[in-house]
Structures are given as structure tokens and as C-alpha cells.
Amino acid sequence: AQSVTQPDIHITVSEGASLELRCNYSYGATPYLFWYVQSPGQGLQLLLKYFSGDTLVQGIKGFEAEFKRSQSSFNLRKPSVHWSDAAEYFCAVNPQGAQKLVFGQGTRLTINP
């Protein structure tokens, strides 16, 4: 079945440490790919997106993501996290030709001081 999977429900990292959040998708053609962040009690904000071209994309707040076609993955990274990065992160795909935005289950990020 077509889906978006975020394998990690909850991740805890120390402030200043590096971060990688995983996202895998299972669609025939490469979909449009997005990462969103949701702070507590808030709506969602776009961090970055990938459609084609350079497989390493830069986003806001120092985040980047790498698209790997061979692994059907679009992992989110940040070299050094800040306490303000504590939030829930969602990977989303818009399958080409499907006209709908589908989300993964989300990964909750906790930052230790």
C-alpha cells in the first residue's frame, strides 16, 4: 500500500547535538516531499520541500533534508539542535498525479539541556 512512514515516534537529543529524523515513502513515482514542524498547540509550518534537482535541500531554522531515490527516503537533519527545536516533525508527500497531501505519523523531538 502507498504510505509515508516515520519509524521514530519519539527522539531525545541533547542541546548542541546533531539530529536526523527519518522518513520513508512507498509510491511508484517520486512524489513531492515536504517536512513540516508543529510546536505545541500550534498549526504546522513548512521547513523545506523537494520536487526535483539537487537532492540536498536547505530549509528554514538551519534544517536540511536529503532525498535518496534508491532508499525511498527523505531524512531531515540539523547539525546542532537548540532547545527551541523541541516540537513534533511531520514528513508529508504529495504523490504526483494524486493531488492530495499525505502525512507520516510524526516524530516528537525532545531536547535535553
Shortest distance (Å) from residue 6 CB to another protein = 8
Contact region with another protein (CB under 8 A), list: 15-23, 30-38, 57-65, 71-79: 30-38
Instruction: Write the interaction track for another protein spanning residues 45-84; mark x where CB under 8 A is met and - where it is not.
Output: xx--x-x---------------------------------
Contact 2, 103 (CB under 8 A): no
Phi, then psi, of 43 in degrees rounded to 5: -80, -170
CA–CA distances in Å: residue 77 to residues 17, 19, 23, 74: 11, 5, 11, 10
**13, 21, 23, 34: residue in contact with another protein (rule CB under 8 A):** 34
Shortest distance (Å) from residue 55 CB to another protein = 17
Phi, then psi, of 112 in degrees rounded to 5: -90, 135
Closest-CA residue to 22 (of 105, 111, 113): 105
List of residues contacting another protein (CB under 8 A): 6, 9, 32, 34, 36, 42-46, 49, 51, 90, 92, 94, 96, 99-106
